[in-house]
Structure 1
Amino acid sequence: MAWPLFTFTLAILSLFIHYGVVYSSVDGSRRTTTMLLPLFPPKNTSRRAEISRRQLLNSPANARMSLHDDLLINGYYTTHIWIGTPPQKFALIVDTGSTVTYVPCSSCKKCGNHQDPKFQPEMSSSYQSVKCDKACPCDLKRQQCIYERRYAEMSSSFGLLGDDVISFGNLSELGPQRAVFGCEIAETGDLYSQRADGIMGLGRGDVSIVDQLVGKHVISDSFSLCYGGMDFGGGAMVLGGIKTPAHMVFTKSDFGRSPYYNIELKEIHVAGKPLKINPRVFGGEHGTILDSGTTYAYLPEAAFIAFKSSVMKELHSLKQIKGPDPSFNDICFSGAGSDVSQLAKNFPHVDMVFSDGKKLTLSPENYLFKHLKVRGAYCLGIFPNGKNPTSLLGGIVVRNTLVTYDRENERIGFWKTNCSELWDRLNLSPPPPSPSTPVLSGLDNRNSTAHMSPSPAPSKPPGYNIPGEVKIGIVTFYLLLSVNYLELKTRIPELAHLIAQELDVNVSQVRIMNFSMKGNDSLTKWAVFPAGSTDYMRNATAMEIIGRLAEHHPLLQDSFGRYKLFNWGIEPPTERKHWPRNYLVLVVPFLVVFIVGASAPVGWLIWRRRLEQALPYEPVGSVETVAHEQELQPLK
Structure 2
Amino acid sequence: MALQRTQLISVVSLILSLAQWVVATGDSGEVLLLPNEGSRPAMILPLHHSVPDDSSVSDFSPRRQLQRSQSQRHPDARMRLYDDLLRNGYYTTRLWIGTPPQRFALIVDTGSTVTYVPCSTCQHCGKHQDPKFQPEDSETYQPVKCTWQCNCDTDRKQCTYERRYAEMSTSSGVLGEDVISFGNQSELSPQRATFGCENDETGDLYTQHADGIMGLGRGDLSIMDQLVEKKVISDAFSLCYGGMGVGGGAMVLGGISPPADMVFTHSDPGRSPYYNINLKEVHVAGKRLNLNPKVFDGKHGTVLDSGTTYAYLPESAFLAFKDAIMKDTHSLKRISGPDPRYNDICFSGAGSDVSQLSKSFPVVDMVFENGHKLSLSPENYLFRHLKVRGAYCLGVFSNGNDPTTLLGGIVVRNTLVMYDREHTKIGFWKTNCSELWERLHVSDAPPPLSPKSEGTNLTKAFEPSVAPSPSPSQYNLPLGELQIAQIIVVISFNISYMEMKPYITQLTGLIANELDVNTSQVHLLNVSSLGNGSLSKWLITPRPYADFFSNATAMSMIARLSEHRMQLPDSLGSYKFLGWNAKPPLKRTWWQQYYLTVALAVLLTLLLGISALGVFLIWRNRQQAEQSYEPVNVAVQEQELQPL
Task: Establish whether TM, by shorter chain, passes 0.5.
Answer: yes
How far has the Cα of 1:36 moved from its partner?
A: 5.1
Q: Does 1:389 align with 2:390?
A: no
TM-aligned CA deviation for residue 508 of structure 1: 4.7
Partner Cα distance (1:259, 1:60) in 2: 25
Is contact 2:172–2:198 with CA below 8 Å preserved after alignment?
yes
Could you say if the C-alpha distance between residues 372 and 179 of structure 1 is closer, same or farther in structure 2, counting changes exceeding 3 Å?
A: same
2:102 maps to: 88
Q: Match for 1:243 among 251, 257, 261? A: 257
Q: In the alignment, which residue of structure 1 is the partner of 2:437?
A: 423
Shift in alpha-carbon separation, 1:139–1:533, aligned structure 2, 3 A: farther
Letter in 1 for 2:313: L
Q: Give 1:552-567 correspondences, 5 Å limit.
A: none
1:504 matched to 2:516? The reply is yes
Identify the residue that residue 110 of structure 1 maps to in structure 2.
124
1:356 aligned counterpart, secondary structure? coil
Matched with 2:136 is 122
Contact 2:269-2:424 at 8 Å conserved across structures: yes
Q: Tell me if structure 2 keeps the 8 A contact 1:230–1:399.
A: yes
Structure 1 347/197 Cα, relative in aligned 2: closer, same or farther at 3 Å?
A: same
Aligned-pair Cα RMSD in Å: 3.6
Say if 1:498 and 1:91 are closer, same or farther in 2 by CA, change over 3 A: closer
> Match for 2:519: what amino acid?
V
The amino acid of 1:572's aligned partner reads G
Q: Choose which of 534, 538, 544 in structure 2 pairs with 1:532.
A: 538
CA contact (8 A) 1:157 1:184 kept: yes
Matched, 1:201 2:207: no
Give the alignment of 1:292-307 within 5 angstroms: 292-307=306-321
Deviation track 1:393-444 (CA, whole Å, cap 9, x = no partner) reads: 000000011101110111101011111111111133799xxxxxxxxxxxxx
* 2:278 paired residue number: 264
**Cα distance between partner residues in 2 of 1:73 and 1:37:** 22
Alpha-carbon distance in 1 for matches of 2:199, 2:404: 32
C-alpha distance in 2, partners of 1:203/1:298?
20
Cα gap change, 1:501 to 1:108, in 2 (>3 Å) = closer
The 8 Å contact of residues 509 and 530 in structure 1, kept in 2 or not, is answered as: no
Task: State the Cα distance separating 1:540 from its structure 2 match.
Answer: 6.8
Superposed CA offset, 1:36-93 (max 9, x none): 5845859xxxxx9xxx9x9999601110000002334321000000000000000000
2:201 is aligned with 1:187: yes
1:449-488 equivalences under 5 Å are: 459=468
- Structure 1: which 5+ residue stretches go unaligned? 1-31, 43-47, 432-457, 461-468, 475-492, 512-528, 547-566, 576-636
Q: How does 1:43-442 map to 2 (within 5 A)?
A: 59-428=73-442
Aligned counterparts of 1:539 and 1:130: Cα–Cα separation in 2? 51
1:102-136 C-alpha deviation (Å, 9 max, x unpaired): 10001101110001000000000000000000111
Q: Which amino acid aligns with 1:260?
A: Y
Change beyond 3 A, Cα 1:280–1:160: same
Assess if the C-alpha contact under 8 Å between 1:367 and 1:397 holds in 2. yes
C-alpha distance in structure 1 between counterparts of 2:187 and 2:89, whole Å: 29
Matched, 1:572 2:573: yes
Secondary structure of the residue that 1:213 maps to in structure 2? Answer: helix
Question: Partners in 2 of 1:312 and 1:118 — Cα distance?
Answer: 48
Relative to its length, the structure with more helix (as a share) is 1
Residues 409 and 545 of structure 1: is their aligned pair in 2 closer, same or farther, counting only changes over 3 Å?
A: closer
SS in 2 for 1:212: helix
> How far apart are the structure 1 equivalents of 2:360 and 2:512?
32
- The whole-number CA distance in structure 1 between the counterparts of 2:519 and 2:157 is 60
Q: Quote the Cα distance in structure 2 between the aligned partners of 1:364 and 1:473.
A: 36
Deviation at 1:497, TM superposition (A): 8.6
Separation of aligned partners in 1, 2:106 and 2:536: 26
Per the TM alignment, residue 95 of structure 1 is displaced from its structure 2 partner at its CA by 0.2
Partner Cα separation in structure 2 for residue 540 and residue 254 of structure 1: 43
SS of equivalent residue, structure 2 residue 199: strand
Distance change in 2, residues 1:93/1:161 (3 Å): same
Report SS of the residue matched to 1:311. Answer: helix
Alpha-carbon distance in structure 2 between the residues aligned to 1:137 and 1:507: 59
Q: Deviations over 1:493-546 (max 9, x none)?
A: 9xx9999569724525889xxxxxxxxxxxxxxxxx998279xx9997787566
**Matched AA of 1:92:** L
**Residue 145 of structure 1: CA displacement?**
0.5
Residue type of the alignment partner of 2:103? K
> CA shift at 1:231, angstroms?
3.1
- Are the aligned partners of 1:38 and 1:430 in contact in 2 as well (CA < 8 Å)? no
Cα distance change of structure 1 residues 144 and 230 upon mapping to structure 2, 3 Å threshold: same
SS in 2 for 1:532: strand
Shift of 1:276: 1.5
Answer whether contact 1:231 1:540 (CA < 8 A) is retained.
Answer: no
Maintained 8 Å contact 2:62/2:185: no
**Does the 8 Å CA contact 1:296/1:397 hold for their aligned counterparts?**
yes
Paired residue type of 1:309: D
Distance 2:276 2:101 in 1: 35
Letter matched to residue 538 of structure 2:
G
Distance 1:573 1:365, change over 3 A: closer
Kindly indicate whether the alpha-carbon contact (under 8 Å) linking 1:472 and 1:542 is maintained by their aligned counterparts in 2: no
Residue by residue, what CA displacement relative to the aligned partner does 1:546-605 show, whole Å, maximum 9, x if unpaired? Answer: 6xxxxxxxxxxxxxxxxxxxx977841499xxxxxxxxxxxxxxxxxxxxxxxxxxxxxx
Q: Distance in 2 between matches of 1:571 and 1:286?
A: 42
User: How does the TM-score come out when normalised to structure 1?
Assistant: 0.64
Query: How far apart, CA to CA, are the structure 1 residues paired with 2:375 and 2:511?
Result: 42
The verdict on how the C-alpha distance between 1:360 and 1:55 changes in structure 2, with shifts beyond 3 A counting, is closer
Structure 1 Cα separation of the partners of residues 521 and 144 of structure 2:
51
Cα distance change of structure 1 residues 497 and 35 upon mapping to structure 2, 3 Å threshold: closer
Q: Secondary structure at the match of 2:220?
A: coil
* Inter-CA distance 342–89: structure 2 relative to 1 (3 Å threshold): same
Aligned residues: 442
Could you tell me how far apart the structure 2 residues matched to 1:66 and 1:145 are? 31
Aligned CA distance change for structure 1 residues 570 and 379 (closer, same or farther; 3 Å)? farther
Q: Is the 8 A contact 1:64 1:238 kept in 2?
A: yes
Amino acid at match of 2:229: G
Q: 1:127 to 1:334 in 2, by over 3 A?
A: same
Cα distance in 2 for partners of 1:188, 1:358 equals: 43
Partners of 1:208 and 1:508 in 2: CA distance? 53
C-alpha distance after superposition, 1:290-332 (max 9, x if no partner): 0000111111111111101000111132111111111111111
Amino acid at match of 1:218: V
Q: Which amino acid aligns with 2:135?
A: P
Structure 2 unmatched runs, 5+? 1-53, 446-466, 470-491, 498-504, 524-534, 541-557, 577-644
Partner SS for 1:365? helix
User: Which amino acid in structure 1 is aligned with residue 415 of structure 2?
Assistant: T
Q: Contact (CA 8 Å) 1:227, 1:399: kept in 2 or not?
A: yes
Tell me the amino acid that sits aligned with residue 173 of structure 2: G
Q: Residue 242 of structure 2 contacts residue 249 of structure 2 at CA under 8 Å; is this kept in 1? A: yes
